[in-house]
Structure 1
């Protein structure tokens, strides 16, 4: 597709028409790799659409004064990258007569002494050599790990659904936490495997980023709800008639668990309309928009830590009043441990994500921990759950007898 616009500019001898043309997808033909530099080891990325400026009734492209033009970025800039204003000359991109005037996170102003076909190219240093190509390996590893995590999340949901009558505690938060993680990881997996088709569709890419933001935030909100319910349960240990379900019903929990992340995403869209849709179809780093995710997550993790500290002190006082061998006390202590582990499983990978940039080893650790959240939850709540194991044994014995 080609867009053409023209305007008239006043000159000493009169006026002349200048035609500007913008080509979408032209970078697939005039590739950034055609930009020859002294350092051939850099990774070159096209940062703008290809545009042309011509004087229709003359073949002279030289200008008496340089002309400035602004290029909009189509990719996120790398803080360590080098931007170059270039023009097409025969068979390659060159910088002769063009230079960068100023730049920010979204636009760059270039200046050239002639008219031609222009573009903006960024050069970045490749990752350190590791004996294999890191990006294809990471893509393959990510697909495998996320798929494994999805399988175990499905097993966990199936177990909670089938064993719901045999479990003593309110599993609404845990079930919805697994649903949120399952949908988030599934959308992430599909998006990353189809990124070449999705990325050119800016609206679809932004919508998918917003949906991912919603589901990941929802998982953390459900983790917080579970901690709050545990706190209520510990407070009511000495009240025989008090039950968890009498405090907050499942309908109320559903509203809280999904409305809070929806409000956060809605406010984020209102404040930063263009904040979604990075080159990975995730949250953009411009104007610190990443804090729309990091902020709520950090707040939830901090509140969880406070709740666990309070629960620990409350349990000590309760144990002093009640028999330590009480089955309800034992069950509560186990649940405190499991939810604490769950908080670490969900929170630690995202904290580690702050330190992964440019480090392939930390990136792989982050990928493993983040993708295997479903596996860890299955181990904690199914494999290490005595009630679930007993139910599994009953099913196994029934199958054997048949």
Structure 2
């Protein structure tokens, strides 16, 4: 019986042309190596398994398997060949245990050869893809009525285009609809037109643009033909990946552009909710949007140094990460985004990089994002939610050392002491009284008050009202210093040109010396009260050029004084060259001019360094230079106007001699045997000495 069966199988093999003497069934004689080799039935006879099936070769045989969506009419699939049966279509609509899982509650399953199709109700769509359940389309997301009134004009075109396509896809609008690739190209064209003018000045417009782009990509993604698409123009670069199927996709996602790199997975992109039959992940890089969002850092949480907040600037391209996961605010796994810096900067102690995202309210925030690693050219950010991201560079103010604080206190203390001596000298020294002394007196008073306020309150930025008051007082008194310095230049000019009646009435001096700075400060405070006081110093704000309400008048004073000094020196040279010069008076005016020029140079150099001191990130040496010049100002006035003046030195000598004489008399009173007699004689002698000095 067994031998007869083998003969029967051999005859069948010979009938099929596979009968070779000496080889078993499924093998053929190889005349070259004189051995039996396996016959690949699948390649020799592609239709061996019939339609809708796949052939798999095995050693000495083969087997067949029905394609997905088909099955054998018999239960037994072992040794399936063309002679045992043909694959028949599987009706998924009738044989599925849970029919709603196929198309959802708003779709009707329709069987097709090898697959099935979901007929969706109005307002739902399967994105024209078989085996895709019906998903609800919220076309109102692209309705202008739900958006703020202040948005970009070109954004209305995008929303109108998306809304019309959405209505057509959901069966409630026009039957003419664009495929996903054409729609994506039109979206990029409109976005390029919006971003072409340059900087966008309205934060709400930026937020609406980013939100509309994200919603549009989520709408277009399922309609794309290819699983991976890259599109780029002058303003935007995008990479989009799409996965379709009846089961959730798995595996890693890596999307990259010239400016950023996204590392996540399909489980994060699809989410944990109901699977819609597809998953989308996209990386959008905006090429020129960083200048439009280089502001609104109030919500950024950065580390403070020396009690001062750092200054921020956007230091990468703005990047949007879009996925089909509906719960992007609470991701089960964080995503990693690698940013390319706008420029390579070496790591410095006062520079750090912060990962931030753009909120819907139009501001940068660091919540949920942290820096994983950073170097001079790249920063890796880890975020547990998705939005539009960028890297911010934080410039920390260089921490003032104890040495600088000590130099500041010592320098300003020296200046205050010297100015105090000057004020006492100009007030009580009778031999030098006159218009020029009055000018010096009030110049020293203003400079004394300004230095005192500067020492006590320049860094007291809280409360805001107090800081603004300090800034306004500094503005007034420093302007007054320069105004009195201008009056000194005018007085020197009058002394040379108007030999007689060169004095000026004190009332006029007070009106100009204090009225002019008061007028400037009043106008500035009324025009922009918020310009007084900054986050770092109680001084004038550098925004919108407000600080020029001080530096403008200062430059004008210096320019006018230079003019007066040139005329004064020229007139002096002419008078020295005359036949009968008044050498005593001319030498005195010459000395006055030299001291005035030196005074103007020191005060001018002080505020040249002051221009850089109140910037956001001044050089390290600037605070020291400013403090040194500030202390030199008081010392210079004391040396040149007091110590170098012969009349003042004589007054100092008389004053010291009075003190010494008084002490000597008191000593002699204590040593005498007749206290009453000695005391009366000492008093009489003192009175006589005082009269002779006067």
TM-score by length of 1: 0.68
* Aligned residue among 400, 420, 423 for 1:154: 420
Counterpart CA distance in 1 for 2:439 and 2:641 is 13
Asked if 1:371 is matched to 2:631, the reply is yes
Call closer, same or farther: CA 1:243–1:219 in 2, change over 3 Å: same
* Preserved contact between residue 32 and residue 121 of structure 1 (Cα < 8 Å): no
* Preserved contact between residue 442 and residue 484 of structure 2 (Cα < 8 Å): yes
Counterpart CA distance in 2 for 1:378 and 1:216 is 18
Question: Whose helix proportion is higher, 1 or 2?
Answer: 1
Counterpart CA distance in 2 for 1:387 and 1:169 is 16
Asked if 1:214 is matched to 2:476, the reply is yes
**2:190 aligned residue:** none
Call closer, same or farther: CA 1:202–1:112 in 2, change over 3 Å: farther
Asked if 1:342 is matched to 2:599, the reply is yes
Counterpart CA distance in 2 for 1:213 and 1:87 is 40
- SS, match of residue 123 in structure 1: strand
**1:85 aligned residue:** 365
Call closer, same or farther: CA 1:185–1:322 in 2, change over 3 Å: farther
Asked if 1:33 is matched to 2:300, the reply is no
Counterpart CA distance in 2 for 1:122 and 1:136 is 27
**1:124 aligned residue:** 395
Call closer, same or farther: CA 1:266–1:70 in 2, change over 3 Å: farther
Instruction: Give the Å deviation of 1:271.
Output: 2.6
**1:96 aligned residue:** 383
From the CA coordinates, give the structure whose radius of gyration is larger: 2
Instruction: Give the Å deviation of 1:164.
Output: 3.6
**1:328 aligned residue:** 585
Counterpart CA distance in 2 for 1:160 and 1:318 is 29
* Aligned residue among 557, 568, 578 for 1:300: 557
Q: Which runs of 5+ in 2 are unaligned?
A: 1-139, 147-299, 313-326, 332-357, 371-380, 663-694
**1:315 aligned residue:** 572
* Aligned residue among 385, 396, 401 for 1:135: 401
Counterpart CA distance in 1 for 2:310 and 2:576 is 65
Question: Where in structure 2 are the equivalents of 1:209-248 lying within 5 Å?
Answer: 209-237=471-499, 242-245=500-503, 248=504
Counterpart CA distance in 2 for 1:370 and 1:223 is 16
Counterpart CA distance in 2 for 1:227 and 1:159 is 21
* Preserved contact between residue 68 and residue 112 of structure 1 (Cα < 8 Å): no
TM-score by length of 2: 0.41
* Preserved contact between residue 183 and residue 215 of structure 1 (Cα < 8 Å): yes
* Aligned residue among 232, 254, 257 for 2:510: 254
**1:62 aligned residue:** 329
Instruction: Give the Å deviation of 1:270.
Output: 2.6
- SS, match of residue 509 in structure 2: helix
**2:542 aligned residue:** 285
- SS, match of residue 32 in structure 1: coil
* Aligned residue among 186, 197, 202 for 2:464: 202
**1:80 aligned residue:** none
Deviates most, 270-279 or 383-392: 270-279
Question: 1:322-342 CA deviation, whole Å, 9 max, x = no partner?
Answer: 634532122111111111111
- SS, match of residue 186 in structure 1: helix
* Preserved contact between residue 209 and residue 277 of structure 1 (Cα < 8 Å): yes
Question: Where in structure 2 are the equivalents of 1:358-397 lying within 5 Å?
Answer: 358-397=618-657
- SS, match of residue 177 in structure 1: helix
Counterpart CA distance in 2 for 1:236 and 1:399 is 41
Counterpart CA distance in 1 for 2:385 and 2:524 is 38
Instruction: Give the Å deviation of 1:112.
Output: 6.8
Instruction: Give the Å deviation of 1:121.
Output: 8.4
**2:445 aligned residue:** 179
Instruction: Give the Å deviation of 1:250.
Output: 0.5
* Preserved contact between residue 98 and residue 112 of structure 1 (Cα < 8 Å): no
Call closer, same or farther: CA 1:122–1:141 in 2, change over 3 Å: farther
* Preserved contact between residue 44 and residue 122 of structure 1 (Cα < 8 Å): no
* Preserved contact between residue 156 and residue 382 of structure 1 (Cα < 8 Å): yes
Instruction: Give the Å deviation of 1:321.
Output: 3.2
Count of aligned pairs = 312
Call closer, same or farther: CA 1:98–1:378 in 2, change over 3 Å: farther
- SS, match of residue 627 in structure 2: helix
Counterpart CA distance in 1 for 2:308 and 2:655 is 58
* Preserved contact between residue 494 and residue 502 of structure 2 (Cα < 8 Å): yes
* Preserved contact between residue 44 and residue 124 of structure 1 (Cα < 8 Å): no
Instruction: Give the Å deviation of 1:136.
Output: 3.2
Counterpart CA distance in 1 for 2:328 and 2:531 is 39
**1:45 aligned residue:** 309
Higher RCO (C-alpha under 8 Å, 6+ residues apart):
1
* Preserved contact between residue 369 and residue 383 of structure 2 (Cα < 8 Å): no
Question: 1:24-67 CA deviation, whole Å, 9 max, x = no partner?
Answer: xxxxxx97339xxxxxx9x993779xxxxxxxxxxx89399x85
Instruction: Give the Å deviation of 1:307.
Output: 0.7
RMSD (Å), alpha carbons: 3.5
**1:21 aligned residue:** none
* Preserved contact between residue 369 and residue 384 of structure 2 (Cα < 8 Å): no
Counterpart CA distance in 1 for 2:311 and 2:620 is 24
